[in-house]
Amino acid sequence: MDVGEALLALLLVPGGAMLLTLFVPSRHADVVRYISLLTTTATLVISIYVFAVYDFAEGGYQFNLQYPWIENIAFLGENGISLHLAVDGIAAPMVLLNGLVGFAGVLVSWKITHRVKDFFILFLALFTGVYGVYIGQDLFFWFFAYELAVLPMYLLIVIWGSTNKEYGAMKLTMVLVGGSVLIFIGIFAVFAEAGAGTFDMAVLREVNFGRSFANTFFPFFMIGCGILAGLFPFHTWSPDGHVAAPTAVSMLHAGVLMKLGAFGIIRLGMEILPAGTDFWMPVLLVLGGVAAVYGAISAIHQTDLKFVIGYSSVSHMGFVLMGLGTMNNIGVNGAVLQMFSHGVMTALFFAMVGGLYDQAHTRDIRVFGGLVRKMPLFVIFFGIAGLTSLGLPGLSGFVAEFHIFVGAIDTFPLFAALGILSAALTAIYVLRLMGRAALGPFNPRWENLKDISRLEIIAGIVLIAPIIAMGVWPDPFVDRIAQSVADLPQVEQIGQAFSLSSLTGR
């Protein structure tokens, strides 16, 4: 049984909290913090509810909810632009992901003291926008939410960021908004071509767009959204932006925002213009493969911890794009799993790096050493993120990447090999990082470091729980995703997605 209002609450609760915070005098910083914490707790609970209640046996879009906004006027017919919300098996884990990362983000932002009120208002705006993209079923509001998720980044980075923040913020904003220009044009073209007088995706999915139209406009969505997913060669904003951003924003950004791009390719590209996938998906696969290897090689060379993670994000998002590019159910399944897995893992990474940076005021790998003596918990948490990143069995990264490689072998064996190579490269930089900074000889300069704070521990546990859960028992995720991936048009069925129940044959 689903309650559509749950999705509405996902928008209204953080949106309302944003408005409420606006009227809290800025001297009451703690009030602002507690409002945000309550908000993200509530949305986390709702997200878990949505994820749990989504009926995977039934599949398709559930929690449907539609309110008219503008209709039957001018060029708009029935439900011309409406607030239409729904989730499918692909969106459900993403909603959960946003709930987790947003909650953890507020916890690690607790120590921000500069303009607390403004920070949380913008943070909640970003957070609301991300939910809007995952649950939106109307192109107008989808794009609205997409822009809303990008826009606050500029101020968040410029005011609370570090390291070259002016450059990073401007580059990130301009590149991402540049991408959305393409999406905007694509949306209009789709609307005009369909001639249905509505921006409702549920209607547009039913329209049969011709091959030549789809081939022309598919790249508008693929590249426009792909830019946000770190599509090679438009990925350079991502490391710069991540490094400049404050901790919680890096978490949301790498953890959730970059997924919007891949999610957009599924929603707008694969679902609305399936006829364009034949021609363009191989391109996406190649670019994804290049990004995977290129990102990993770049990460090896970095000395700034955040740059390492930034490039590793490019590499991992390359896996996601590769998975989508395979266009078979195992690969696409893997891509969605990887979106979730990488989301929680990177958020964990950035949370830990933020905790370290706030004390050490540097992120240069070369000056650290033997941190495990002073910060054992930090090293454990950071290590778990690292091991997830290199795909250790038992953690979520393995499940996701395994699917992707199996899918890729079926379509492009060469690129599967490339992907596996970059997974090996990931092992190099992660293990080297751990060896240098966490283990190794202790650098006495760090005598005064304390272990991560209690709030960071809670945030870490919130993020580690799904990593391990998905690693040892992927079924809840796979069940939901597999059903919806199977429903995607043009996706080839090459077998059954792997989960414990599929292995035991039940």
Partner 1 sequence: MDLEYSLIIPEFIMAGLAVLIIAAALAFRQVDQKWFGYATAAALAAIAVGTALAYWDTHDDFANVLAIDHFTVLFRVFFLGIAFFTVMAAVQFAGDRLKNHAEFYGLIVFATLGMMLLGASRELLTAYLSLELLSFSFYILVGFNKLNPFSNEGSLKYMLLGAFSSALMLYGISLIYGVTGTTLYSGIEPDAAAAGRNIADQLASYAGLSGGVDPEATRPGLLIGLVLITAGLGFKVSAVPFHQWTPDAYQGAPLPITAFLSAGGKAAAFAFFLRLFSEAFLPAAGEWVWFVSILAAVTMIVGNLMALQQTNFKRLMAYSSISQVGYLLVGIVALDAANIAQSQDAASALVLHLIGYVTTNIAVFAAIIAFYNRTGRDDIVDLRGLAERQPFLAFAIAAALFSLAGMPLFAGFATKFIIFQAAFNNGFLWLGAVGVTASFVSLYYYLMVIKQMYLYEPEGADRERFHVSRPLAGALVVLVAGVLFIGLYPTPLFDVIHSSTEGLFEQASAMAAAVAGR
User: Footprint of partner 1 on this chain (CB under 8 A)?
Assistant: 26, 69-70, 73-75, 115, 118, 125, 129, 140, 143-145, 147-148, 151, 154-155, 158-159, 166, 170, 173-174, 177-178, 181, 184-185, 188-189, 191-192
Instruction: Assign 453 to helix, strand or coil.
Output: coil
* Distance in Å, CB of 202 to partner 1, minimum: 20
Cis bond before residue 441 (omega within 30° of 0): no
* Distance in Å, CB of 194 to partner 1, minimum: 12
Whether 256 and 220 have beta carbons less than 8 Å apart is answered as: no
Rounded distance between C-alpha atoms, residue 373 and residue 350, angstroms: 21
* Distance in Å, CB of 407 to partner 1, minimum: 35
Looking at beta carbons only, is 126 or 379 nearer to partner 1?
Answer: 126
DSSP string, 282-341: HHHHHHHHHHHHHHHHHHHH--BHHHHHHHHHHHHHHHHHHHHHH-BHHHHHHHHHHHHH
Looking at beta carbons only, is 1 or 73 nearer to partner 1?
Answer: 73
* Distance in Å, CB of 390 to partner 1, minimum: 38
Looking at beta carbons only, is 177 or 469 nearer to partner 1?
Answer: 177
Rounded distance between C-alpha atoms, residue 504 and residue 384, angstroms: 28
Rounded distance between C-alpha atoms, residue 406 and residue 319, angstroms: 12
* Distance in Å, CB of 180 to partner 1, minimum: 8
Query: What DSSP element (H or E) covers 254?
Result: none
> What is the amino acid identity at position 112?
I
Looking at beta carbons only, is 76 or 459 nearer to partner 1?
Answer: 76
> What is the amino acid identity at position 210?
G
Rounded distance between C-alpha atoms, residue 216 and residue 182, angstroms: 12
Looking at beta carbons only, is 57 or 73 nearer to partner 1?
Answer: 73
Looking at beta carbons only, is 97 or 148 nearer to partner 1?
Answer: 148
Rounded distance between C-alpha atoms, residue 68 and residue 52, angstroms: 28
Looking at beta carbons only, is 169 or 262 nearer to partner 1?
Answer: 169
- Find tokens 């632009």 and name the residue: 81
* Distance in Å, CB of 115 to partner 1, minimum: 8
* Distance in Å, CB of 47 to partner 1, minimum: 22
Whether 136 and 84 have beta carbons less than 8 Å apart is answered as: yes
* Distance in Å, CB of 139 to partner 1, minimum: 10
* Distance in Å, CB of 191 to partner 1, minimum: 7
Whether 228 and 175 have beta carbons less than 8 Å apart is answered as: no
Determine how many CB atoms are found less than 10 A away from the CB of residue 393.
11
> What is the amino acid identity at position 328?
N
Looking at beta carbons only, is 72 or 303 nearer to partner 1?
Answer: 72
* Distance in Å, CB of 498 to partner 1, minimum: 40
Rounded distance between C-alpha atoms, residue 287 and residue 321, angstroms: 8
Looking at beta carbons only, is 174 or 431 nearer to partner 1?
Answer: 174
* Distance in Å, CB of 158 to partner 1, minimum: 5
Rounded distance between C-alpha atoms, residue 310 and residue 317, angstroms: 11
Count of residues making up the chain: 506
**Alpha helical stretches, state H, 195-304:** 201-206, 211-228, 237-244, 247-252, 258-264, 271-272, 277-301
Looking at beta carbons only, is 93 or 129 nearer to partner 1?
Answer: 129
Instruction: Assign 27 to helix, strand or coil.
Output: coil
Looking at beta carbons only, is 61 or 160 nearer to partner 1?
Answer: 160
Looking at beta carbons only, is 203 or 464 nearer to partner 1?
Answer: 203
Rounded distance between C-alpha atoms, residue 244 and residue 376, angstroms: 27
* Distance in Å, CB of 118 to partner 1, minimum: 8
For residue 76, give both structure tokens: 């708009």
Rounded distance between C-alpha atoms, residue 59 and residue 487, angstroms: 8
Closest CA to 246 of 318, 324, 169: 169
